[in-house]
Amino acid sequence: HGLTVPMNLLFGSPDAWPVKVIPFAVNVVQYPVPSGARCFALGQAIRRAIESYDAPLKVQIWGTGGMSHQLQGPRAGLINKEWDNKFLDRLIAEPAELAKVPHIEYVREAGSEGIELVMWLIARGAMADVAGTGPAPHVAHRFFHVPASNTAVGHLILENQ
């Protein structure tokens, strides 16, 4: 759903997507889940691969995953708005430091499913400022909401300048 839901919102339900898509499945369900640092490094590697391509490309890199939420156990229904918004702030301003946050902090502050946020670091690792080839990204859109589904939802669109 991290790919198909946004694609359906953008394009409806066509027989085929009108753009080329390369999905990356990131395990955030079974141990061992990747660290934020590993996801951040994957984003950097994706950027290098794109830059090595011979033809000019227009590329979007999405990092998807629910924000704070826990679906089971005594903390079911957990939402941490403050932590989620701080995560967005740090993703923009200090992604390399954010990549060092250990799994236990995600679980403690954002719930057992909040570990999904490490996937956002893949997209952030691919940005020009991380590669040292541009200034901090432009924040084109930022949104945070807690719908009735007990999963905090955030949108962040960053553009290289």
- CATH code, domain carrying 51: 3.40.830.10
Structural domain total, the chain: 1
pLDDT > 90? residue 2 = no
> How many DSSP H helices and E strands does the chain contain?
7, 2
Q: Which amino acid is at 135?
A: P
Tokens (6 digits) for 18? 């009108």
Q: 74: cis peptide before it, omega within 30°?
A: no
Q: Reply yes or no on whether 1 is catalytic.
A: yes
pLDDT > 90? residue 85 = yes
Range of the domain at 140: 4-159
pLDDT > 90? residue 9 = no
pLDDT 10s digits, 46-77: 999 999 999 999 999 999 999 999 999 999 99
State the catalytic residue, choosing from 69, 141, 145, 155. Answer: 69
State the catalytic residue, choosing from 1, 103, 138, 141. Answer: 1
Q: pTM of this prediction?
A: 0.93
Identify the pLDDT of residue 27.
92
